[in-house]
Chain A
Amino acid sequence: MGRRLLGSKGTLGGQTRVYRTPDGLEIDEAEDERIYRKRLFWDEVLMVTLHRAGDAPFVVFALIGVGMLGLFSFGVGVVDLGAGILMSVLTWVPLLIYTVVRLIEGVPTVSVYGRRTVARLAFPLRKERARDVFAEISGAARRRQDAARIATARRTVPPPAPAV
């Protein structure tokens, strides 16, 4: 089994992609033309959370984009009304709808806290996928930690006394 992309999270500085491997998660942070990799093993997971995050930077940038595209469409519409309406329908109206829906719904985000690091995965407009990934990560960590606990218990159990 190789690596499978579970999700990603964009920031102003770059993008973080989280992959599932047999031993845990690999967190690839892309920044300054380099990828910095961190690993979070299943037997180090302390907590997995699911919440709806706000996304102020995206909303600000999207509204700036809506404003610029709206002005451009208005300029085109002054010359040719049909072209202006078409440009609006294709550009700033869908972006505005997407931004408003994202603002109302929030961004379902899964956070995985380990002993040494944390992985964050955002799923805009994909609530079900976020829940599936939350369940997948929780299940994998629980299975690995239960197996480790059983193996430790087996090692510490003393051998049975010889029959008399």
Chain B
Amino acid sequence: MAHLSHVYAGPSCPHCRGTLPTERRSGAIRCPACFRDFEAAVFAPPAAEVRVRQMVEAGPDGATPCADHPGNAAVSECGRCGVFMCGLCRIDSDGQALCPACYERLSAEGALASARTSYRDFRGMAVKLATVGLIILFLGPLLGAGALFCAWKARQQKIEWGDEDGYGGLWAAAVVGGFDILAGGALIAAMIRG
């Protein structure tokens, strides 16, 4: 799990990863730690604003209380379980409003596309199988078939993700996989004939 091994601590020097002064301006910056220059565009993103209406503002007949925060007025109901939610609880994900419990459950089940963070790397597997098939040619038919299957699955993944480019590598892996099958098959046939 090397992808979790380092902790991100905010903007730093791109050369030495040292901390930068909190007062930063766009333009050329010199790192105070390593004295190397880099160009930077600095932003001050506005803080996310959540407006929560209190029950006392609306009165008992004017609003329904949130199930988790009785003092807050509900703004909608959960699209899955129907519980009333205030602006703090409401999570908009994949076109529906969910309460935190349903969001946790659906994301744990992998039912929310936007919450999913891990996928099988079919593209990488296709390239590796095709390359190994070239090196160990008598295994070519097996590895080539695997490369073709992985290239096909990778193409489906890319279509699902809406990728507009990056299909060239898949075609190359598929062509090499096809070559592995043919060349490996020919080698095995020649070995059988003696």
A binding-site residues for B, Cβ under 8 Å: 1-5, 13, 17, 19, 29-31, 33-38, 43-51, 53, 109, 111, 113, 115-118, 134, 138, 141-142, 145, 148-149, 152, 155
Contact A33 B165 (CB under 8 A): no
Q: A5 — which chain B residues lie within 8 A by C-beta? A: 163-166
- Interchain CA distance A17-B165 in the complex, whole Å: 12
Which of B2-10, B61-69, B70-78, B133-141 contacts its partner? B2-10
A57 → chain B, closest Cβ, in Å? 15
In the complex, B11 has a CB within 8 A of chain A: yes
Closest to A149 in B: B46
Contact B43 A49 (CB under 8 A): no
In the complex, B41 has a CB within 8 A of chain A: yes
User: B38, B41, B49, B165: which contacts A152 (Cβ < 8 A)?
Assistant: B49
Taking each of B39, B43, B162, which has the highest tally of chain A beta carbons within 10 Å of its own beta carbon?
A: B43
Question: What would 9 more interface pairs be, CB under 8 Å, given A2-B162, A51-B15, A117-B8?
Answer: A34-B120, A35-B121, A37-B118, A46-B42, A47-B42, A51-B14, A51-B36, A134-B41, A148-B46
How many residues on B have C-beta within 8 angstroms of the other chain's C-beta atoms? Answer: 39
Q: Assuming the A-B contacts A2-B164, A49-B38, are A141 and B43 also in contact, with contact meaning beta carbons closer than 8 angstroms in the complex?
A: yes
Contact B43 A45 (CB under 8 A): yes
Q: A109 — which chain B residues lie within 8 A by C-beta? A: 14
- Interchain CA distance A38-B114 in the complex, whole Å: 11
Contact B39 A50 (CB under 8 A): yes
Q: A142 — which chain B residues lie within 8 A by C-beta? A: 41, 43
Contact A152 B46 (CB under 8 A): yes
In the complex, B185 has a CB within 8 A of chain A: no
User: B2, B116, B124, B125: which contacts A37 (Cβ < 8 A)?
Assistant: B116
Contact B117 A46 (CB under 8 A): no
Bitwise interface map of B from 16 to 47 toward A, beta carbon under 8 Å scored 1, else 0? 00000000100001000000111111111110
Q: Assuming the A-B contacts A5-B166, A116-B8, are A134 and B119 also in contact, with contact meaning beta carbons closer than 8 angstroms in the complex?
A: no
User: B24, B124, B163: which contacts A2 (Cβ < 8 A)?
Assistant: B163
- Interchain CA distance A89-B107 in the complex, whole Å: 55
Q: A116 — which chain B residues lie within 8 A by C-beta? A: 8
Bitwise interface map of B from 79 to 117 toward A, beta carbon under 8 Å scored 1, else 0? 000000000000000000000000000000000000011
- Interchain CA distance A30-B125 in the complex, whole Å: 11
B185 → chain A, closest Cβ, in Å? 27
Q: B41 — which chain A residues lie within 8 A by C-beta? A: 47-49, 134, 138, 141-142
21 sampled A-B residue pairs with Cβ under 8 A: A1-B162, A2-B164, A3-B162, A5-B163, A5-B164, A33-B125, A36-B118, A44-B45, A46-B42, A46-B43, A47-B43, A48-B41, A49-B14, A50-B38, A51-B14, A51-B36, A141-B41, A142-B41, A145-B43, A145-B46, A152-B46
A98 → chain B, closest Cβ, in Å? 21
Q: Assuming the A-B contacts A46-B45, A48-B40, A145-B46, are A3 and B117 also in contact, with contact meaning beta carbons closer than 8 angstroms in the complex?
A: no
Q: A30 — which chain B residues lie within 8 A by C-beta? A: 121, 123-124
Please list the 8 inter-chain residue pairs (A to B) with the smallest Cβ-Cβ separation, ordered nearest first: A2-B162, A51-B38, A113-B11, A138-B41, A47-B11, A50-B39, A35-B119, A48-B41
- Interchain CA distance A109-B12 in the complex, whole Å: 14
Contact B2 A33 (CB under 8 A): no
